[in-house]
């Protein structure tokens, strides 16, 4: 890991930082893919203080990526199917100005290492079928496992489920 990066587990006291990072990454990530109304709705459902607190209560582990002490990204993961030793990467976001510098790979590898220590044999993630990040995941060893359409309120997330054997 480059010396300037540090990863730590986020706690409830970090929720304002998670909200700030999500706010700075959500629009640039999805503006070309989703309508403004869908963006606003989904952001509120997923990234309000209450939603993040609930995600933590339900067992999502959040990791914060810092570059020289400044938060620049985050990820979260949880158990998807304990008997199958399957975990899920629920979120991974990096500030737009940090993308392409290796931080995303550092953060993704940190999640992979942590879930392996917890007994994971497989890691799944969802990526919008029109999100160019799919190429990043493929370069990191993930392959499309299936497609799914997930309702969120009146909207749909049209995703690939990508999987990597750990």
Q: CATH number of the domain at 21, please.
A: 3.40.630.30
Contact 123, 166 (CB under 8 A): yes
CB half-sphere exposure, 130, CA atoms < 13 A: 9
What are the φ/ψ torsions at residue 118 (nearest 5 degrees)? -85, 0
Provide mean pLDDT across the span 149-166: 95
State the average pLDDT for the chain: 95
Size (the chain), residues: 166
- Domain ranges, residue 98: 5-165
Question: Across the beta sheet with 70-81, what order do the strands follow?
Answer: 5-9, 61-67, 70-81, 86-94, 122-128, 155-165, 143-152
Beta strands 122-128; 86-94: pairing state? parallel
Mean pLDDT over 137-145 rounds to 98
Closest CA to 104 of 135, 79, 60: 135
pLDDT in tens, 30-55: 998 999 999 999 999 999 999 999 99
List all residues 6 or more positions away from 49 whose beta carbon is below 8 Å from its beta carbon: 15, 16, 19
Secondary element (H or E) of residue 154: none
Cα(30)–Cα(7) distance, integer angstroms: 25
Q: Which two tokens stand for residue 158?
A: 């049209």
- Span 49-96, pLDDT tens digits: 999 999 999 999 999 999 999 999 999 999 999 999 999 999 999 999
pLDDT of residue 5: 95
Please give the pLDDT value at position 3: 59
| 105: Cβ contacts below 8 Å, ≥ 6 apart | 140
Structure tokens at 122: 């497989």
Question: What's the whole-number mean pLDDT along residues 14-35?
Answer: 94
Q: What is the count of structural domains for the chain?
A: 1
Tokens of 136: 């990043």
């Amino acid at each position: 890991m480059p010396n300037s990066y540090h990863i730590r587990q986020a706690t409830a006291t970090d929720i304002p930082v998670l909200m700030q990072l999500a706010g700075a990454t959500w629009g640039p990530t999805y503006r070309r893919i989703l309508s403004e109304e869908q963006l606003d709705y989904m952001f509120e459902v997923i990234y309000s203080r209450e939603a993040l607190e609930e995600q933590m209560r339900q067992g999502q582990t959040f990791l914060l990526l810092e570059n020289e002490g400044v938060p620049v990204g985050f990820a979260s993961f949880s158990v998807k199917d304990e008997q199958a030793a399957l975990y899920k990467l629920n979120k991974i976001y990096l500030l737009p100005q940090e993308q392409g510098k290796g931080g995303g790979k550092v953060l993704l590898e940190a999640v992979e290492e942590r879930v392996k220590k917890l007994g994971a044999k497989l890691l799944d993630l969802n990526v919008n079928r029109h999100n160019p990040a799919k190429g990043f995941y493929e370069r990191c060893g993930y392959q499309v496992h299936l497609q799914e359409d997930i309702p969120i309120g009146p909207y749909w997330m049209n995703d690939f489920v990508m999987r990597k054997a750990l």
